């Protein structure tokens, strides 16, 4: 019997990026892309099925069930939900249920910020900018996860 190796999964940041991309797309167009495709830092282009979606005046929410593959990750099966709201300039990350807040110096984030690491923040920011450019709209400014 031939060994097939481990099944790959996705990080929480990749799932959050996909959910944010779907939510922002729906906020701008009225339609959720399902499945939604993102580009990872090494160029892979996975797709993610939406578990939940909600579009209302001034906000869109999309959720994805995290598949950690064969990695023994305690967040495997967690629902990663992102709500996007329009606002002023730039993007503000807001900690939603299940997201901690930085309480001590030493991380690459300031104290008081949601505990969303720099790479997922960059991925989310880049994907939302791409959606904005594609839809010719102003970038989102409030994001809670």
* Residue 102 placed within a domain: yes
Secondary structure (DSSP) of 32-73: --SSEE---TTS---EE--SEEEEETTEEEEEEE---TTS--
Residue 84 reports pLDDT greater than 90:
yes
Name the one residue in this structure whose structure tokens are 């990872």: 40
Residue 117: name the closest of 37, 8, 12 by CA: 12
Q: How many Cα atoms within 13 Å fall on the side-chain side of residue 108?
A: 7
Domain-located, residue 3: no
* Nearest Cα to Cα of residue 140 among 28, 41, 61: 28
Centre a 10 Å sphere on the Cβ of residue 121 and count the other Cβ atoms it contains. 20
* Domain presence at residue 87: yes
Residue at 1 is within a domain: no
Tell me the three-class secondary structure of 64-110, residue by residue: EECCCCCCCCCCCCCEEEEEEECCCCCCEEECCCCCCECCCECECCC
The CATH number linked to 110 is 3.30.2110.10
Q: Is the residue at 56 inside a domain?
A: yes
**Count of the separate structural domains present in the chain:** 1
Condensed to tens digits (0 to 9), the pLDDT of residues 115-135 reads 899 999 999 999 999 998 888
Domain enclosing residue 95, as ranges: 12-144
Q: Would you state the pLDDT for residue 96?
A: 87
In a domain, 92, yes or no: yes
Q: Is the pLDDT of residue 2 over 60?
A: no
Considering the entire predicted model, what is its pTM? Answer: 0.86
More confident of the two residues 55 and 141: 55
- pLDDT tens-place string over residues 23-66: 999 999 999 999 999 999 999 999 999 999 999 999 999 999 99
At residue 59, the pLDDT reads 96
Q: How far apart are CA 118 and CA 140, in angstroms?
A: 18
Token pair belonging to 114: 């949601």
Domain membership of residue 5 (yes or no) is no
Inside any domain, residue 132: yes
């Amino acid at each position: 019997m031939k060994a097939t190796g481990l099944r790959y999964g996705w990080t929480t940041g990749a799932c959050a990026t996909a959910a944010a991309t779907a939510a922002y797309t729906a906020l701008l167009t009225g339609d959720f892309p399902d499945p939604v495709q993102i580009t990872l830092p090494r160029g892979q282009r996975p797709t993610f099925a939406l578990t939940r979606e909600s579009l209302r005046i001034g906000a869109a929410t999309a959720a994805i069930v995290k598949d950690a593959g064969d990695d023994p990750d305690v967040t495997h099966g967690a629902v990663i939900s992102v709500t996007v709201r329009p606002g002023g300039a730039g993007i503000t990350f807001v900690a939603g249920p299940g997201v901690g807040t930085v309480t001590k110096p030493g991380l690459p984030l300031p104290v008081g910020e949601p505990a969303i690491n720099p790479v997922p923040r960059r991925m989310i920011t880049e994907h939302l900018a791409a959606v904005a450019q594609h839809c010719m709209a102003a970038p989102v400014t409030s994001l809670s996860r």
